Amino acid sequence: MNTKEISFTHLLDLPAELSVKAKEVPGLPERLLRFIRMEVAMNEQRQQRYSPAAVELVQRARALADKRIEEGRSREEGMRAFEQNFKEITETL
pLDDT > 50? residue 90: yes
DSSP E strands, the chain: none
Domain residue ranges in the chain? 7-49, 51-93
What is the distance between the alpha carbons of residues 23 and 40, in angstroms, rounded to a whole number?
A: 24
Q: What is the pTM of this model?
A: 0.46
CB 90 within 8 A of CB 57: no
- In 3D space, the residue among 44, 42, 35, 47 whose CA is nearest the CA of residue 11 turns out to be 35
Per-residue pLDDT at 14: 82
pLDDT tens digits along 21-52:
988 999 998 999 999 999 999 999 988 888 88
* 54 vs 41, residue with greater confidence: 41
